[in-house]
């Protein structure tokens, strides 16, 4: 599949990428008040196999012939490495209903018998929305119908906790990695998708798959990660019973994933993303930097503020998908489904007034990406991912 697909893409694409440049680059510029930013940069070779700590045996002092006043100047280096950490990417169905409906309905029938006033699918949509997920469109349900669904939900849940039922739906009966990915390749080699992706939950979106701890060992096309994604089921939301698209989120090494940045991947399309990396080390006494756990990343900070202001702070409970993943809500009870439904608009459209993120003093960050998309004639969703060069800026 991979070889034929590459041949087809070559015919469709006239893209001509500039070659990567791995030489010593010196550009001395100045930054003065009212003038553009100026950087001194250089590319260094390195035998390091990890990008986390830059080598210390290179001169990093800026040599200046004149005393320049009212300016900032410094050294930016491109460090060459043999292996580079890949961005932590998360792939999600567009709507959170990618579950095995048949098995869930059997459980409903066993517990409800003929007492269900409404449809089983509406009850499942009600529960998904009541778990804190968006895009199941329950706004058309009348208040009376919601009350009936709540009564049926209580019977269906029985002696199980809200968290137990959540795990039954989204862990035991959600689609698996093998049902999400058709094939993964690394360069010319096949890769086991389920070895490099693990399930996770994304704020308001549902159960997704996250690329964890993946390293690229060669530059760009030679070691690109190619993903063939299947048609993902959507039995509750879409009339054709398939997801309208898949969403790629860019996260970091932390467990929290925010609703941004995100990229939509459509069926019958090939998408190519290229990233760069940089290591940011700030002065330890900088008042704009932090070492607090909740400032480990921008997404960590955003999710913390969302939970604090829009959920725990208002209703003294947490959403089920955060209960066992975030240490600061371990002791907080899970919200009742009725509580989430009654305040659904405020929970799914958070109005955060006081999000102020102090940057972590040292962090590794992916930049970009550059994106290219081609529409395909055949029924495929293909995504190519690569780091543009085996170097990072520091």
Summarised one tens digit per residue, pLDDT across range 67-78 is: 444 455 555 666
Joined together, the tokens standing for residue 245 give: 């698209």
| Cα distances (angstroms) measured from residue 23 to each of 39, 42, 255 | 17, 8, 37
pLDDT for the residue 33: 33
CA dihedral 368, 370, 376, 378 (to 10 degrees): -40
Joined together, the tokens standing for residue 199 give: 């399930």
Provide the mean pLDDT of the chain. 79
Q: What is the 3-state secondary structure (H, E, C) of 104-154?
A: HHHHHHHHHCCCCCCCHHHHHHHHHHHCCCCCCCCCCCCHHHHHHHHHHHH
Q: Is residue 313 part of a domain?
A: yes
Strand partners, 248: 91, 263
Q: Are 272 and 368 in contact (CB under 8 A)?
A: no
Please, what's the b/e burial string for 61-100 (b: 16 or more CB within 10 A of its CB; e: otherwise)?
eeeeeeeeeeeeeeeebbbbbeebbbbbbbbbbbbbbbbb
Is the pLDDT confidence value at 183 over 90?
yes
Q: What is the three-class DSSP state of 216?
A: strand
Q: Is residue 147 part of a domain?
A: yes
Task: Select from 276, 277, 255, 279 the least CA-distant residue to 362.
Answer: 279
Q: Are 307 and 322 in contact (CB under 8 A)?
A: yes
Q: Is residue 336 part of a domain?
A: yes
Is the pLDDT confidence value at 164 over 50?
yes
Cα separation, 375 vs 282, whole angstroms = 43
Q: Are 320 and 336 in contact (CB under 8 A)?
A: no
Summarised one tens digit per residue, pLDDT across range 196-248 is: 999 999 999 999 999 988 888 887 788 899 999 999 999 999 999 999 999 99
Q: Is residue 30 part of a domain?
A: no
Mean pLDDT of 246-251: 93
Cα separation, 210 vs 91, whole angstroms = 6
- The total of structural domains in the chain comes to 1
389: confidence class by pLDDT, cuts 50, 70, 90: low
The crossing angle, in degrees rounded to 10, of helices 101-112 and 120-130 is: 100
Mean pLDDT comparison of 34-48, 234-248, 300-314, highest-scoring range: 234-248
Q: Are 111 and 145 in contact (CB under 8 A)?
A: no
Mean pLDDT of 165-193: 96
Cα separation, 251 vs 303, whole angstroms = 12
Is the pLDDT confidence value at 335 over 70?
yes
Q: Is residue 155 part of a domain?
A: yes
46 — alpha (psi -120 to 50), left (phi > 0) or beta? beta
| Cα distances (angstroms) measured from residue 147 to each of 72, 105, 115, 136, 150 | 63, 20, 14, 18, 5
Q: Is residue 149 part of a domain?
A: yes
Summarised one tens digit per residue, pLDDT across range 365-387 is: 666 688 999 998 778 899 999 88
83: confidence class by pLDDT, cuts 50, 70, 90: confident
**Polymer length of the chain:** 394
The pTM assigned to this predicted structure is 0.79
DSSP conformational letter for 358: P
Q: Is residue 265 part of a domain?
A: no
- Helix H segments across the chain? 2-12, 101-112, 120-130, 143-157, 162-167, 177-180, 193-196, 298-306, 313-315, 320-323, 337-342, 344-348
Q: Is residue 272 part of a domain?
A: no
Please, what's the b/e burial string for 303-317 (b: 16 or more CB within 10 A of its CB; e: otherwise)?
bbbbbbbbbbeebeb
* Residue 311, domain extent: 101-173+287-348
């Amino acid at each position: 599949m991979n070889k034929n697909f590459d041949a087809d893409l070559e015919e469709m694409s006239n893209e001509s990428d500039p070659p990567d440049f791995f030489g010593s680059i010196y550009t001395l510029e100045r930054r003065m008040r009212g003038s553009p930013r100026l950087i001194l940069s250089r590319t260094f070779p390195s035998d390091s196999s990890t990008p986390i700590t830059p080598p210390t045996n290179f001169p990093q002092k800026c040599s200046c012939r004149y005393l320049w006043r009212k300016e900032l100047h410094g050294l930016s280096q491109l460090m060459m490495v043999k292996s580079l950490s890949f961005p932590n990417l998360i792939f999600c169905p567009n709507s959170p209903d990618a579950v095995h409906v048949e098995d869930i309905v059997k459980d409903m029938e066993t517990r409800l018998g003929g007492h269900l006033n409404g449809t089983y699918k509406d009850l499942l949509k009600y529960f998904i929305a009541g778990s804190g997920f968006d895009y199941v469109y329950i706004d058309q349900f009348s208040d009376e119908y919601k009350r009936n669904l709540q009564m049926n939900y209580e019977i269906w849940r029985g002696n199980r906790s809200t968290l137990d039922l959540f795990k039954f739906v989204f862990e035991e009966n959600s689609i698996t990695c093998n049902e999400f990915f058709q094939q993964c390749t690394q360069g010319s080699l096949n890769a086991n998708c389920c070895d490099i992706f693990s399930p996770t939950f994304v704020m308001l979106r549902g159960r997704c798959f996250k690329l964890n701890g993946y390293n690229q060992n060669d530059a760009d096309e030679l070691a690109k990660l190619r993903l063939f994604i299947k048609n993902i089921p959507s039995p509750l939301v879409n009339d054709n019973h398939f997801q309208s698209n898949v969403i790629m989120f860019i996260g970091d090494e932390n467990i929290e994933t925010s609703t941004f940045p995100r990229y939509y991947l459509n069926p019958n399309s090939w998408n190519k993303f290229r990233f760069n990396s940089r290591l940011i080390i700030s002065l330890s006494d900088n008042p704009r930097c932090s070492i607090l756990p909740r400032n480990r990343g921008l997404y960590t900070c955003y999710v913390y503020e969302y939970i604090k202001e829009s959920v725990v702070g208002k209703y003294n409970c947490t959403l089920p998908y955060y209960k066992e993943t975030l240490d600061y809500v371990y002791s907080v009870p899970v919200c009742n489904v009725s509580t989430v439904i009654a305040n659904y608009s405020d929970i799914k459209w958070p109005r955060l007034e006081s999000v102020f993120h102090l940057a972590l003093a040292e962090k590794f960050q992916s930049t970009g990406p550059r994106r290219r998309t081609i529409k395909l004639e055949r029924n495929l969703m293909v995504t190519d991912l690569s780091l543009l060069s085996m170097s990072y800026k520091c």
